[in-house]
Amino acid sequence: MSSNNGPTAQPHKTWPERYRDMANTARDPRIQAFYKAGCPAPATPMSEVPLVALDFETTGLDPDEHAIVSIGLVPFTLDGIQLGKSWHQIVRPQLPLHQTSVTIHGITHSDIDGAPDLSEVLDTLFEHLNGRIPVVHYRNIERPFLNVALQHRLQEQLRFPVLDTMAIEAYLHPDRNPNRWQRLLGKKPVSIRLADSRLRYGLPHYAGHNALIDAIATAELLQAQVLHHFSPETAIGDLWV
């Protein structure tokens, strides 16, 4: 699962430097524009970083086997999540839609029949991503799926850092899985799933499940995590992965 986790090519360079390099080598104008929009320096305080919470619904967990069904995103900062600028798009997967995932997302074949291919909405997607650091819950979905899709359509990939709210929860609860002895004593494992993590911060339960609500839920969770365990002054470079 880790081969797609992030760049391994230039470990000694910072992200802003890598963005500058990649802006020169990228072929697709949209990918060029993404890198040109730049990346904040690792020392930038969290409070000053433009963020975008991103969530994909997919037909499965393996980017090589499954496809993206819908995209939800919402731009935000630590101060506020701007619902009016949110975006939700159903896309037509190139692989068959499995019955199991239909019941999870509530997206049906008829929804998808009329939906565009990802390539048709790339312009809008990039407009939302440019100049912002993506925030996801569980980094092994959005970045790898996006890269497989881009590779397939543009023969190029996108390298970028993400903030992963699930990784932050994992870091906060290193002993979340009790050993056999602790289990005997009644200790329960700590769940770091999105809905369970939110409960720990008094965040409300959302009844609906779609990519946009999950993106909003992720954005709220990050705000809560930073205010509870870090601070608005924390450097973005300490948190991104």
Partner 1 sequence: MQAELLDIRNHIAQYPPFDEMAEELLDQVVEGIEVAYFRAGTQILELGQQNAWLHYLRSGAVEISRRSGELYNRLGEGEFFGHFGLLRNQRVRFPAKAIEDSLIYKIPYETFQYLWEQDENFADFVEVEDRSRLRSAISRQEKANDLMTSKVTRLIARQPVTAPSTVRLQEAAKIMTDNGVSALLLMDETGDFPKLEGIITDRDLRTRAVTQALPSETPISDIMTEDLITIRSNAYIFEAMLTMLHNNVHHLPVMDGHEVRGVIALSDIVKYESQSSLFLVSNIYQQVDVKGLKKISRGVPDTFVRMVNEDANSHMIGSAMAGIGRSFSQRLLELGEEKLGPPPVPYCFMGLGSMARDEQLVVTDQDNAMILDDSFIPEEHDEYFLALAKFVSDGLAECGYSYCTGEIMATNPKWRQPLRVWKEYFTDWIEYPKAESLLNSNIFFDLDGIHGETGFAEELKDLIAEKASGSQRFLTLLARNALNRTPPLGFFRAFVLEENGKHQKSFNLKRRGTAPVSDLIRVHALACGSRAQNSFERLRAISKTKLLIDDDAGNLRDALEFISIVRIRHQALAIEEGREPDNNVRPEDLSPFERSHLKDAFQIVSNAQKFLRFRYNAGGGRNVQ
Residues that bind partner 1 (CB under 8 A): 72, 76, 79-84, 86-88, 103, 106, 108, 201-204, 206-208, 210-213, 216, 219-220, 223-224, 227-228
User: In this structure, are strands 87-90 and 68-76 parallel, antiparallel, or unpaired?
Assistant: antiparallel
CB of 159 vs partner 1, minimal distance in Å: 29
**In the complex with partner 1, which residue's Cβ is closer, 25 or 82?**
82
CB of 216 vs partner 1, minimal distance in Å: 7
**In the complex with partner 1, which residue's Cβ is closer, 126 or 206?**
206
Going by C-alpha positions, the residue among 121, 102, 119 that lies closest to residue 110 is 102
Q: Is 82 exposed, middle or buried (0-12, 13-18, 19+ CB in 10 A)?
A: exposed
**In the complex with partner 1, which residue's Cβ is closer, 10 or 103?**
103
CB of 127 vs partner 1, minimal distance in Å: 16
CB of 118 vs partner 1, minimal distance in Å: 18
Give the list of residues 6+ apart from residue 98 with CB closer than 8 angstroms, or none. 59, 60
Q: How far apart are CA 130 and CA 149, in angstroms?
A: 18
User: In this structure, are strands 68-76 and 163-164 parallel, antiparallel, or unpaired?
Assistant: unpaired
**In the complex with partner 1, which residue's Cβ is closer, 43 or 227?**
227
